[in-house]
Amino acid sequence: MKNTVKTLAYAGSLGLLVACSGQGTGAPTASAPAAPAAASQAAVEAAPAASAASADIVTAGFMPNGAVRKPSNYREWVYVGSPLTPNGLNGGAAPFPEFHNVYVEPSAFEHYERTGQWAEGTQIAKELVLVRSNNNAEDGSSAEVSGVGYQQGEFQGLELSVKDSGRFSEMPGGWAYFSFGHQPEPYNASAEAFPAEACNACHEASADTDFVFSQFYPVIRAAH
């Protein structure tokens, strides 16, 4: 029953997901924090709120205007799983027709292992990777030496979530969500937070542990 409710919540928000993925690059939106017109006031007005992260958590880098910098070494973080929603199983047009490779920053992972909580300052990266194109059948699968199935092809986008209820006090759960582009590399060097209504509601309603979809990540399920 729980699963049915979650599936419906996910399907209900898909339109929103498609709409916000179209923004693609984290470009400023009407409801994102606006840059002040007067340059002399920029530093004062755009100064970010103090982080709530404790000293033992490796935090994201932020620009003076509050945009987050793309983490450089996320592929060396703790790899926790790869949900897949291919076009072939979504009527030919999945909102995210890729593998979603998810990585947790190691100090945040270690804190979760110990406590079962996502620490203030936690960073989680989700890299999108296209289904490999080879002898693909109509459902997108390929026949390979290991059998018929789905393999990973090219990189196709990068997203990041950051929990910091000091810096993002207005965001539900203190989580902020970013995209460095839904595109092949190179990704954008920085990204502004999406408005809460674009991302937080689905995560709040359907994810198992504090906005994080741990039900899809075996490494997180095994960690605590």
Q: How many CB atoms lie within 10 A of CB 167?
A: 24
Q: How far is the CB of 50 from ligand HEC (least distance, A)?
A: 23
Contacts of 66 (CB under 8 A, 6+ apart): 33, 46, 48, 192, 193
Q: How far is the CB of 115 from ligand HEC (least distance, A)?
A: 18
Q: How far is the CB of 193 from ligand HEC (least distance, A)?
A: 9
Q: How far is the CB of 42 from ligand HEC (least distance, A)?
A: 25
- When the beta carbons of 51 and 194 are compared against ligand HEC, the nearer one is 194
- When the beta carbons of 36 and 83 are compared against ligand HEC, the nearer one is 83
- Rounded to an integer, what is the distance from CA 43 to the centroid of its chain? 28
Residues at the interface with ligand HEC (CB under 6 A): 10, 13-14, 16-17, 20, 83, 100, 102, 124, 126, 159-161, 177-179, 194, 198-199, 202-203, 207, 211-213, 216
Q: And the tokens for 133?
A: 């194109």
Cα–Cα separations (whole angstroms), residue 47 to 33, 34, 66, 87, 181: 11, 12, 7, 42, 25
- When the beta carbons of 53 and 84 are compared against ligand HEC, the nearer one is 84
Q: Which residue has the tokens 């530093």?
A: 43
Could you tell me if residue 203 is left (phi over 0), alpha (psi between -120 and 50 degrees) or otherwise beta? alpha
Q: How far is the CB of 16 from ligand HEC (least distance, A)?
A: 5
- When the beta carbons of 123 and 141 are compared against ligand HEC, the nearer one is 123
Q: And the tokens for 221?
A: 């399920």
What is the rounded CA–CA span in Å between residue 113 and residue 99? 25
Q: And the tokens for 139?
A: 């459902």
Q: How far is the CB of 198 from ligand HEC (least distance, A)?
A: 5
- When the beta carbons of 43 and 149 are compared against ligand HEC, the nearer one is 149
- When the beta carbons of 21 and 42 are compared against ligand HEC, the nearer one is 21
